[in-house]
Structure 1
Amino acid sequence: MAQKAYILRMYPGGVDRLNDALEENQLMLGWSKAAGLIDQSLEWTEFREIVRRIYDPDAQNMRWAGNAAGHLWRFIREMGEGDLVVVPYGSEFYVAKVTGDAEHRKDKVEEDMAFRRPVEWLNDKKPIPRKHAKAALLSRMKAQGSCTGATDLVEQVEECLRIAKEGGKPSFEEDLRKKLTEKTLEEMRTGRMEDYGFERLVANVLRTSGASQPAIVSRSNDEGVDIYATFLVAGVFQQVVGVQVKHYKPDPPIGGKVVQQLINGIESGQEPVTLGMVITSGTFDDEAEEEAEKYRINNGIPIELVDGELLAKLIVENGLENLNLDTFHADL
């Protein structure tokens, strides 16, 4: 069976449990009162219903329960022995290899640390700087939710482990990419680029990332979405992305107000948006992440937050020669 990979945010009960996890060679997840989930005979609907009954009994729909159950299902059912798990931690991340089945520890229910998986922590239990990750892996580590699939990024995780094993010394190509990324970020923040130019840059980055005909919204029609872009998923399904663009410096960071502006644009109904993005040359604070997470849970539409560092990585990795800043103009 092919090796899989996952991103795990390990804050069961809202508490940082990383030191416990490293010491005990375990991965941990919350929702500990739902002990019945460990039953391998449960079908998805039964699994989800346990989560709803225990944690969201008065809900008018299954959206929250389905979202929570999805993270638990990946942790309990999908992970397998030999799979890689990336655990983000501030500006670094840890990598573990799963060594056994999921279990539920009754003695850890009160601490909300009951769901466990035994692992071998790789890289001698030492963290890896996020700067070694390519754009796709860095973006996935920013994904909202507790447990996210990342099987398509196994090679990128292994590359980070290799760099760490070699003492953090990247290859010539990787070192060059890092320097180009730093210079690109600097130019976006301090170079000769005004707001309209930054919008065109973002539209081009979306195009080189696979979007068909990204369209910049004219300022007169801007209700919170600056760019609409369509991606074809699996060659069949269309995903309409609504993007809010902010040409900011890193300080002060973007807060929840900007995320709410995007939400207003999504809910205006101008386009059938299935994914929201806030893309900036600056940074985000915790409030922005909380606002995005709340909207995803309550409305089922994820909002990705792309900061300047990630945007610069995307530009460099997609190829500067593929960008044409004069191609896109206001056309809506």
Structure 2
Amino acid sequence: MSFNDYTFLDNSTEYPEELKPWKEKLTKILHEMNAYGFERLCQRILRECGFSHVEVTKKSGDGGIDGRGKLKINGVFSIVVAFQCKRYKGSVGAPAIRDFRGALTADVEKAVLITTGTFTQEAKKEANNPAKVQIDLINGEELVDMIISLGIGVKPMTSYEIDEDFFENM
């Protein structure tokens, strides 16, 4: 039986571990990481995206901010960015956005909330409220895509399908 013979209809479908789609496997790994490890991964992603001085706050008593860094834009402007990391299987709601915003200090000019899950519509609306500090959102799918594009903890593999008829007809 080949990979294409399996039908993936829903999460209850059983199939061999070696045939699980790699994005699903990476998402599972992210969900199972310890909280501090996940924060360090987000730190690394932000560094690879061009941030400097990216630091993860202490494990406890971070006041709702998991880390901060500086982003230099076009070699001219530097802005201080705070980030928060949430390993969620479900959705991050508006209260989490409000709590994060409330933890921001006066020196923070931008904020980003990174999750392995998704964001509710209310959370997206709250994050983009024009009357408040804007919070950029990175959901689980975007996070996985960033990890892949930056090549962090993953490596591409080449797979070949063998044309057995070709060899039999030689």
State the partner residue of 1:261: 99
**5+ residue gaps in structure 2?**
1-20, 155-170
- 3-state DSSP class of the match of 2:128? helix
> What are the Cα deviations for residues 262-288 of structure 1, in whole angstroms up to 9, with x where unaligned?
10121x33xx11211110111111111
State the partner residue of 2:151: 319
Contact 1:243–1:276 at 8 Å: present in 2 too? yes
State the partner residue of 1:227: 67
Identical counterparts, % of pairs: 33
- 3-state DSSP class of the match of 1:298? coil
Cα distance in 2 for residues equivalent to 1:200 and 1:320: 12
Compute the TM-score of the two structures, normalised by the length of structure 1. 0.38
State yes or no: 1:293 paired with 2:135.
no
Cα distance in 1 for residues equivalent to 2:149 and 2:94: 29
- 3-state DSSP class of the match of 1:223? coil
Cα distance in 1 for residues equivalent to 2:62 and 2:52: 20
The alignment's C-alpha RMSD in Å is 1.8
State yes or no: 1:278 paired with 2:113.
yes
CA separation of 1:213 and 1:181: change in aligned 2, threshold 3 A: farther
> What are the Cα deviations for residues 49-88 of structure 1, in whole angstroms up to 9, with x where unaligned?
xxxxxxxxxxxxxxxxxxxxxxxxxxxxxxxxxxxxxxxx
How far is 1:240 from its partner?
1.2
State the partner residue of 2:30: 188
Letter in 2 for 1:211: F
State the partner residue of 2:164: none
CA separation of 1:287 and 1:207: change in aligned 2, threshold 3 A: same
How far is 1:186 from its partner?
2.7
Note the 1:45-194 alignment, pairs <5 A: 180-189=22-31, 191=32, 193-194=33-34
Letter in 2 for 1:262: F
Cα distance in 2 for residues equivalent to 1:186 and 1:221: 27
Cα distance in 1 for residues equivalent to 2:98 and 2:109: 16
> Displaced runs of 4+ in structure 1, greater than 2 A?
179-183
How far is 1:307 from its partner?
0.8
How far is 1:256 from its partner?
0.8
Contact 1:223–1:264 at 8 Å: present in 2 too? no
State the partner residue of 1:73: none
State the partner residue of 1:206: 46
Cα distance in 2 for residues equivalent to 1:196 and 1:228: 14
How far is 1:180 from its partner?
4.4
Letter in 1 for 2:56: I
**5+ residue gaps in structure 1?**
1-178, 323-332
Contact 2:36–2:59 at 8 Å: present in 1 too? no
**Residues paired across the two proteins, number:** 134
